[in-house]
Amino acid sequence: MDVLFYHLTESTLEEALPPLVEKSLERGWKVAVQTGSRERCEALDAWLWTWREDSFLAHGTDREPHAALQPVLLTDASSNANGAEIRFLVDNAVPDGLDGYERAVFLFDGHDAAQLEAARGHWKTMKAAGHAVTYWQQGPDRRWQKKA
The domain ranges of the chain are 2-146
- Taking the model in full, what pTM does it have? 0.94
Class (C level, CATH) for 2-146: alpha beta
Grouping H, G, I as helix, E, B as strand and the rest as coil, residue 32 is strand
Q: What is the pLDDT along the chain (148 residues), one digit of tens a residue?
A: 999 999 999 999 999 999 999 999 999 999 999 999 999 999 999 999 888 888 778 899 999 989 999 999 999 999 999 999 999 999 999 888 898 999 999 999 999 999 999 999 999 999 999 999 999 999 999 999 999 8
CA pair distance 95, 107, nearest whole angstrom: 13
Smallest CA-to-CA distance from 88 within 143, 140, 49, 48 is with 48
